Amino acid sequence: MSGAAPEKMVYAFGGGKAEGRSGMKNLLGGKGANLAEMANLGLPVPPGFTITTEVCTAYYANDRQYPEGLKEEVEKALGEVERITGKKFGDPSNPLLVSVRSGARASMPGMMDTVLNLGLNDDTVAGLAKLSGDERFAYDSYRRFIQMYSDVVLGVAHHTFEEILDTYKDDRDYVLDTSMTAEDWQAVIAEYKEAVESALGKPFPQDPQEQLWGAIDAVFGSWMNERSKTYRRLNNIPAEWGTAVNVQAMVFGNMGETSATGVAFTRNPSTGEKRVYGEFLINAQGEDVVAGIRTPQSLTKQSREEQGSDEPSLEEAMPETYKELAAVFQKLEDHYRDMQDIEFTIEQGKLYMLQTRNGKRTAKAALKIAVDLCAEGKISEDEAVMRVDPAALDQLLHPSLDPNAERDLIAKGLPASPGAASGEVVFTADEAERLAQEGRRVMLVRVETSPEDIHGMHAAAGIVTARGGMTSHAAVVARGMGRACVCGAGDLKIEKDGSKFTVHGREVKKGDQITIDGSTGEIFFGAVATIEPELSGDFGKLMEWADKHRRMRVRANAETPLDAKTARGFGAEGIGLCRTEHMFFDADRINVVREMILADNEQGRRAALDRLLPFQRGDFEQLFREMKGLPVTIRLLDPPLHEFLPHGEKEIGEVANALGRDVKDVKDRLSQLHEQNPMLGHRGCRLAVSYPEIAEMQARAIFEAAIAIGKETGDPVQPEIMVPLVSTKKELDLVKDRIDAVAQKVFAEAGEKLVYTVGTMIELPRAALTADKIAHSAEFFSFGTNDLTQTTFGLSRDDAGSFLPNYLRHNILDQDPFVSLDQEGVGQLVAIGAQKGRETRSLIKLGICGEHGGDPASISFCEGIGLDYVSCSPYRVPIARLAAAQASLAAKKRAEG
């Protein structure tokens, strides 16, 4: 296939104007669109151009061939850059050098690293030396270019060059790169070139055009590398988006002591405090600041003093330039109406802007910035609600160190990402992932991290690095993931063989427990106790705004009084799912439960159930008391009975003994209860059909408790009794009749009535498809999307772990359907169920109670089909409240056009 070439493939920027805008992120990528926007704002942006994401898409659609006409457009745009800069690409006397930078819609680690100083070769390097009057600078730039280009474009490993340089320096007793003269760099360059030639069998490319297209190819190529794929998978970014390529005239932060390069946030990305926050390095280039090779200096005097550093801040070292920079920060923040993450370079006193984007931030900072911007009149309440990523709220709910716990401080680094965590030390990302899969909590300890480590960072409870600043890879990625992280703990000496690290004479071996506090940068030996967080005033305010806009109610899945209390504390408006079987497992009653299950006849079962009744009634009393009149949905017993029975030989013996029964007897009953496919077996309402006395006991416990607590508190309790795993109306009717009969009996005994409802879970495809019939009997539906996902896909949740990851890797599924609702399939059944339910009973109450009830994307789907509430685990209640508000606001916006 060929596919027509996109109409315009290259967008120029620079010289005070640009062809693109910040609204064109889909086409130009985030970096390109914002470079264009900054140029249009009249900010000092080195000129350049952006090759669009459509070219990337066309490239892959067309068997890695570029659309026709691209070369010409690139040539023209490059000509424009030459005109603005007055330099010429490849001209030995006045060479134009460029950077080649990838830039997808969302910033994406895993994409090709930027190549700087492109256009240098044995001839142009001499031109650069003459032009700058600085030979050393020119050859330093050239060797950097060879190193970078060889690594990211040609695939010659970085360490090849590090080793050459280290050996060269060692031989001459040089410690710092600053000892290297122009001649030294020339000698190193010769060795670099040899190394490239011997690795590749051909020389390092000298032709600037070849260099340029090599780099462009490499950017587009990196869109499909494994790292990018992993990142896209973890972040739900579709492969179709493609990346853009930015080619931009170089400016040099490494042209001596009046040159510098830096990164800044217009507000503190950890706390949200309204204060410029950033780092810079004098006489440095590009990634030096984030690479953690030298320790960067603070931008402001205030933060330098706070950090107790002697190295001057930019504010002190270059006051004029700092003033100009501060004005740019203000301008950009006002323009984007959000906190910006900015890269800049100073070339011999002249300021250049190289990047801006809405800055990544912790949840705490996100809340504070949204609330502050609203107070500053920059954004509305609605916008503030839309600004905070609901999933990120999770971070606020992370624990901190118990102030009373014993602790053994062994080191301190930078407080890179908040939260306290402990885990056993591992030194590689693969190891972290492997142990985490075994259910162990691990602490990933690295010299520094790179995009190859992402899977391990994801798997770890926390991350420690020995090198790198607050804007290093580890810090940025950890904050984004909500992992606790301590960076730049320079005292850690990590053994190369990955067996241990030493710090101040102490050894910490692989497998030892350590604890980190990502809010202070402290590292402790052993597992230190942690405590639950308290939520800030900003949180309360934003939640209050969110609740104003929310249509759907938010309930919690909770069965213990503690869960219920937590849920209410987080703002739950009821319990959407109380799983009664959890109550059966308590040590003081499991044997009565077993006695009931093992009984030979109804009479035996009823005797055991009579003894269970007071326990169950007590459970429900506590729950109702805690929920203070809020609705509580109680699901009748659901799992197959053998889940309650002993398994091993020894346990079977003990149970037989405790119940005074024969071991053989117990074994016989066990094998009767054995099922091939328990997930599809004798469970849910099928139990109530076979043993209605169980449902009767539970109904009685519910009604008696409800009456008692109604009397005690004066708040009438309105229980909602939910019959699980219904697939036909008749099944439900049979169970419902029993429940209603018990109700009448209990009411007569108590001389008191209460309002209750009986409904069902919709968790089987047949129930969804016949929901109109079922709704004649059910007063409410709760979509049990965990089982509905299993039964719709024919996929067992317990077994999917071994093959589902492959489905994600091969993009057969975009997401784990047990985490985020499969809207196309399972969602369709939910929508059908909701619609059919309403056909019969227009005011039927509809909710969802699977894991999906706490997933923002699924919540937005629920808003779309008009469910009344979502129910999720207590800790996700704030997330659900915010996600529901955002879904309502988005729906409102759509309705308004």
Residues at the site binding ligand ADP, with contacts judged by CB under 6 A? 46, 99, 101, 114, 116, 248-251, 261, 286-287, 343, 345, 354-355
Q: Is the separation of the CB atoms in 788 and 767 below 8 Å?
A: no
Residue 161 to residue 206: CA distance in whole angstroms: 18
Cβ 264 to Mg ion shortest distance, Å = 12
**Which member of 56, 485, 849, 872 is catalytic?**
849
Cβ 111 to ligand ADP shortest distance, Å = 7
CA 506 to chain centre: 34
Alpha helices in 411-534 (DSSP H): 429-437, 454-459, 473-481
Cβ 874 to ligand ADP shortest distance, Å = 38
CA dihedral in degrees (41, 44, 45, 46; nearest 10)? Answer: 150
Q: Is residue 513 within a helix (H) or strand (E), and if so which, with residue range?
A: strand 513-517
**Which member of 56, 374, 455, 473 is catalytic?**
473
Cβ 368 to Mg ion shortest distance, Å = 24
Cβ 132 to ligand ADP shortest distance, Å = 14
Residue 248 binding: pick among Mg ion, ligand ADP, none (C-beta 5-8 Å cut-off by kind) = ligand ADP
Residue 774 to residue 107: CA distance in whole angstroms: 48
Complex with Mg ion: residue 480 or 827, whichever CB lies closer: 480
Residue 46 binding: pick among Mg ion, ligand ADP, none (C-beta 5-8 Å cut-off by kind) = ligand ADP
H helices, E strands: number in the chain: 35, 34
DSSP structural state of residue 318 = S
Residue 101 binding: pick among Mg ion, ligand ADP, none (C-beta 5-8 Å cut-off by kind) = ligand ADP
- Tell me: does residue 355 bind Mg ion (CB under 5 A): yes
Q: Is residue 387 within a helix (H) or strand (E), and if so which, with residue range?
A: helix 381-387
Summarize the chain as % helix, strand, coil (round to 5).
50, 15, 35
Q: 144: which 2 tokens? A: 């950097």
Cβ 389 to ligand ADP shortest distance, Å = 21
Cβ 106 to ligand ADP shortest distance, Å = 11
Tell me which residue of 74, 69, 80 sits closest to 13, measured CA to CA. 80
Residue 632 to residue 858: CA distance in whole angstroms: 22
Residues within window 410-439 making contact with Mg ion, judged by CB under 5 A: none
Tell me which residue of 638, 640, 643, 663 sits closest to 653, measured CA to CA. 663
Complex with Mg ion: residue 477 or 666, whichever CB lies closer: 477
Q: Is the separation of the CB atoms in 273 and 120 below 8 Å?
A: no
Cα-trace Rg, the chain: 32
Can you tell me whether residue 859 is helix, strand or coil? helix
Q: Is residue 344 within a helix (H) or strand (E), and if so which, with residue range?
A: strand 340-347
872 is catalytic: no
In whole angstroms, how far apart are CA 217 and each of 60, 118, 243?
12, 14, 12
Rounded (5°) CA angle 198-202-203: 90
Complex with ligand ADP: residue 261 or 313, whichever CB lies closer: 261
Cβ 175 to ligand ADP shortest distance, Å = 25
Residue with tokens 């729906």: 891
Complex with Mg ion: residue 110 or 856, whichever CB lies closer: 110
Cβ 151 to ligand ADP shortest distance, Å = 14
Complex with Mg ion: residue 355 or 449, whichever CB lies closer: 355
Q: Is residue 663 within a helix (H) or strand (E), and if so which, with residue range?
A: helix 663-673
Complex with ligand ADP: residue 242 or 574, whichever CB lies closer: 242
Residue 345 binding: pick among ligand ADP, Mg ion, none (C-beta 5-8 Å cut-off by kind) = ligand ADP
Complex with ligand ADP: residue 261 or 300, whichever CB lies closer: 261
* Residue 383 burial class via C-beta count within 10 angstroms: exposed 0-12, middle 13-18, buried 19 and up: middle
- Tell me: does residue 184 bind Mg ion (CB under 5 A): no
DSSP structural state of residue 152 = I
Backbone phi and psi for residue 556, each to the nearest 5 degrees, phi listed first: -120, 150
872 forms beta bridges with: 556
- How many CB atoms are closer than 10 A to CB 601? 7
Cβ 109 to Mg ion shortest distance, Å = 7
Complex with ligand ADP: residue 253 or 854, whichever CB lies closer: 253
Complex with ligand ADP: residue 113 or 638, whichever CB lies closer: 113
DSSP-assigned letters across all residues of 18-75: ES--GGGHHHHHHHHHHHHHHHHTT-----EEEE-HHHHHHHHHTTS-PPTTHHHHHH
Cβ 247 to ligand ADP shortest distance, Å = 9
DSSP structural state of residue 429 = H
**Residue 62-101 contact track with Mg ion, rule CB under 5 A, x = bound:** ----------------------------------------
Complex with ligand ADP: residue 354 or 514, whichever CB lies closer: 354
**Residue 311-350 contact track with Mg ion, rule CB under 5 A, x = bound:** --------------------------------x-------
Complex with Mg ion: residue 355 or 785, whichever CB lies closer: 355
Residue 566 binding: pick among Mg ion, ligand ADP, none (C-beta 5-8 Å cut-off by kind) = none
Residue 695 to residue 741: CA distance in whole angstroms: 11
Tell me which residue of 305, 503, 490 sits closest to 414, measured CA to CA. 490
- How many CB atoms are closer than 10 A to CB 320? 9
**Which amino acid, residue 831?**
A
Q: 340: which 2 tokens? A: 């910006």
Residues within window 105-124 making contact with Mg ion, judged by CB under 5 A: 113
56 is catalytic: no
Residue 386 to residue 886: CA distance in whole angstroms: 6
Which residues touch 15 (CB under 8 Å, ≥6 apart)?
39, 47, 84
Residues within window 113-172 making contact with Mg ion, judged by CB under 5 A: 113
* Residue 183 burial class via C-beta count within 10 angstroms: exposed 0-12, middle 13-18, buried 19 and up: exposed
* List of residues contacting Mg ion (CB under 5 A): 113, 343, 355
Return the active site residues. 473, 849
